[in-house]
Amino acid sequence: MTIFNTNNQKLEQSEMMQKENTQPEDQSILKELLAVIVFAFFGTGLMMYLDAVEKLLRFSRTLEIYEFDEIAVFLPSFLAIGFVLFSYRRIQKLEAEMIRRREVEKRLLKSEKLYKDLSITDDLTQLYNSRCFYNKLEEEIDRVMRYEQPLSLLLIDLDDFKKINDRYGHLKGDNVLKMAGGIIQNCIRKIDSAYRYGGEEFTVLLPGTEIEAAINVAERTRKGFEAQELSLITNETLNISVSIGAAQFKPGEEMEAFVKRTDDALYVAKQKGKNRVYSS
């Protein structure tokens, strides 16, 4: 959030500076145009003077006869040269401005993406957060109602996590939660999504998945935790187990009822001895 605000402040300052510099740039353009015109007339007069003197000596004509001819030849030429140079400088400035604006847009898009990622991601586990979970669950339920595809939900809870915090401290507990996020991510498909539901609880949405397949995913996740060892101190390791509740969405079921039914399944898994999967 701080990074996003800082970037926005920089962008606002950049836009303010641009507005403040608009008037000096306009004045600069007028000065350049004036310089082109003055240069054209000065150059034309100089060429008129030099050529007129030479031709007066050669052909004995009056200066007035050649004045118009000299202006007709030299003034447009110098004006053309001046405006070409002027246009070239304008094009260079426009290109520089376009490049600057593209860079500003890139920074703004990057800031917006960063803000969005921070708003839906749990900092500790790098999984999505609970707010994102409910938004995504609502979308998936709408999809189920439209296309009549199955949807299953897993609710995962770390067994005896409070004892880990009490015995080894919250820092080690945070390491366990980080490890848990990685294990869950490795056990699900790309179309599935994992969330930190709160504390030591996690949820997994399994679109297009019936309850039998969801139980297989849950068992794979449980075994992933069972096989993982976390080093604590010399010659000591910690084994983590999880209890998992699984449920498949029923057509017409309310979202809250679906989540509660999965939570009830998790509660039964806990009551039956933990480190197991129970489906509802």
User: What are the structural domains, with CATH classification, of the chain?
Assistant: 2-120 (no CATH), 130-279 (3.30.70.270)
Q: In the prediction, which pLDDT does 102 show?
A: 83
DSSP-assigned letter for residue 274: S
First to last CA, the chain: 40
Residue 124 three-state SS: coil
Active-site option among 200, 210, 219, 253: 200
Share of the chain above pLDDT 90, in %: 42
Active site residue 236: no
Contacts of 74 (CB under 8 A, 6+ apart): 43, 44, 47, 48
Look at residues 249, 240, 246, 245 and name the one whose alpha carbon lies nearest to residue 266. 245
Predicted confidence at residue 59, as pLDDT, reads 45
| HEC-encoded secondary structure of 1-64 | CHHHHHHHHHHHHHHHHHHHCHHHHHHHHHHHHHHHHHHHHHHHHHHHHHHHHHHHHHHCCCHH
SS (H, E, C) 139-208: HHHHHHHHHCCCEEEEEEEECCHHHHHHHHCHHHHHHHHHHHHHHHHHHCCCCCEEEEEECCEEEEEEEC
Residue range 66-76, pLDDT digits in tens: 454 555 555 56
Q: Distance between CA atoms of 192 and 188, rounded to whole angstroms? A: 6
State the pTM of this model: 0.62
Question: Which strand (E) or helix (H) includes residue 245?
Answer: strand 242-248
pLDDT digits (tens, 9 = 90+) for 194-204: 999 989 999 99
Q: How far is CA 261 from CA 45, 169, 250, 280, in A?
A: 95, 33, 11, 7
The per-residue pLDDT for 235 is: 64
